[in-house]
Structure 1
């Protein structure tokens, strides 16, 4: 019979092997050997009296029983990790507040996505976002590659486009050199518009054009409120700054996110 700790370890092995389809990656994430991963899977299959994978070789396709179990297994593993983090915070007397700073005009949809992912990672986190650098920021984002007392890592580059009201784009030769409202590549302009809303309202009112991250205006482009020039302008490098007092589990998670973001096309 498996004890509770062995069952949890076996469930984790099942979830990670199903996720990666790669024994080496699974072993690295679980910080164990490849043989131990297989042993845990074997123990779980014996406990459940079924085969979870059609074959114990890459890409480790799930069997019908594995497909039926995987969603619940992922939920159990996630909740268990959440409970572990919560207990660790309570034991250490640490706050679950997490302070996140970002440079003006860091694409807000990325921040929303990150917030959603962090809440799934740990629903007990109390997130605080700020557009200004704070003394006790756990991590931050910016377009600057150097910052004191932080570990600097590349984040996903922001694709830049030139946008305006459709009627201005359709007659761009008449105004192209005169009605520039904003160019995110020019740092001195960062204080002209406080927040995205004011500038986007000015663009929708056909007051001029701007160069912005594409992700910042995707919804307005889809709805026809704004229109983009045909070609991408450039890419804006963005960076993640990890402070020394960022909680270790959050830091590990962010490093994983950073690696996945940089792999995206």
Structure 2
């Protein structure tokens, strides 16, 4: 018996109070009386010999020890919950993976390919959450993270999946007449659509075509995500520069056309990093091997 470990009930109540920093709100969430919550916190502090909360007039605040302990306990409770859910999945002859993936890569590249994975490995469920900014992977429930960049996140175990590759101009077919041919100079006169995080894309495209002096950097709408940029181009708002790997369906269905064969190549790409302690190692290995195989096919097709 682990005598040093407080009861799970006490820890769940402590995590809830720490999250709300309110006995009243924690009691409401847990469907307990405020008195019962207060007694659990007092008992936990007595057992640990540490003051977890300081009382400031009519409110409470975490102490330094309480704040540090709360972060660790939350991580442990999340993991217990995740392990329990995974056990339920396994009972039903299945397993699950939790992935954090940049939004555009998930929507435009990964999810359309998951039907193949599902067909080959029907017992593994893949859960996807959109995450773009760097975070400490080992402090989360995610088994792995897929992200855009030029290297593996520092301090993580991972590798590159595939380069982003060719970035091409695209627009609604009615915006141009590709049969007659559209010159770079003509594109410079059309409405240009921009990705907010890549303001240098059009300048690079025009510069590589030898038309540095034609581009007007302030002209055109800006969008936060490639999915928004692609949708704007399909709606006829203008010409967008989009990685070719994200729009094969739109090009094949003629919802987008390529008005110029001139392109730029992005050597940055998409990487995967793995949690040092994944919930289901076997399922993650299966998914990783499948993912690398699909990425290699895509990389070869982009050459």
Which bracket does the TM-score occupy, shorter chain normalised?
A: 0.5 to 0.7
Distance 2:239 2:145 in 1: 29
Larger radius of gyration: 2
Contact 2:190 2:239 in 1 (8 A): no
Equivalent positions of 1:210-229 (< 5 A) are: 210-228=240-258, 229=260
Stretches of structure 2 lacking an aligned partner (at least 5 in a row)? 1-85, 202-221
Contact 1:142 1:239 in 2 (8 A): yes
Determine helix, strand or coil for the equivalent of 2:153.
coil
The aligned residue for residue 156 of structure 2 is: 150
Contact 2:143 2:284 in 1 (8 A): no
Do structure 1's residue 234 and structure 2's residue 265 form an aligned pair? yes
TM-score for both structures, normalised by structure 2: 0.47
Equivalent positions of 1:54-65 (< 5 A) are: none
Alignment partner for residue 141 of structure 2, among 136, 141, 158? 136
C-alpha spacing 1:137/1:203, structure 2 compared with 1 (3 Å): same
Distance 1:146 1:205 in 2: 36
The aligned residue for residue 76 of structure 2 is: none
Q: Which has the higher contact order (CA 8 A, sep 6+)?
A: 2
User: Higher mean Cα deviation, 179-188 or 240-249?
Assistant: 179-188
The aligned residue for residue 262 of structure 1 is: 296
Taking only aligned residues, the RMSD between alpha carbons, in angstroms, comes to: 3.9
The alpha-carbon deviation at position 146 of structure 1 amounts to 3.3
Do structure 1's residue 206 and structure 2's residue 218 form an aligned pair? no
Equivalent positions of 1:1-265 (< 5 A) are: 90=90, 96-106=95-105, 108-132=107-131, 135-144=140-149, 145-148=151-154, 150-159=156-165, 160-170=167-177, 173-176=185-188, 179-183=191-195, 186=198, 192-194=223-225, 196=227, 198-228=228-258, 229-235=260-266, 236-246=268-278, 247-257=280-290, 259-260=292-293, 261-262=295-296, 265=300
C-alpha spacing 1:203/1:116, structure 2 compared with 1 (3 Å): same
Distance 2:249 2:288 in 1: 29
The alpha-carbon deviation at position 88 of structure 1 amounts to 11
C-alpha spacing 1:209/1:97, structure 2 compared with 1 (3 Å): same
The alpha-carbon deviation at position 94 of structure 1 amounts to 11
Distance 2:168 2:233 in 1: 13
**Runs ≥4 residues deviating over 6 A:** 86-89
Distance 1:94 1:212 in 2: 41
Distance 1:201 1:192 in 2: 10
C-alpha spacing 1:262/1:221, structure 2 compared with 1 (3 Å): closer
User: Higher mean Cα deviation, 102-111 or 171-180?
Assistant: 171-180
C-alpha spacing 1:256/1:109, structure 2 compared with 1 (3 Å): same
C-alpha spacing 1:105/1:166, structure 2 compared with 1 (3 Å): same
Residue correspondences, number: 177
C-alpha spacing 1:206/1:90, structure 2 compared with 1 (3 Å): closer
The alpha-carbon deviation at position 153 of structure 1 amounts to 0.7
TM-score for both structures, normalised by structure 1: 0.53
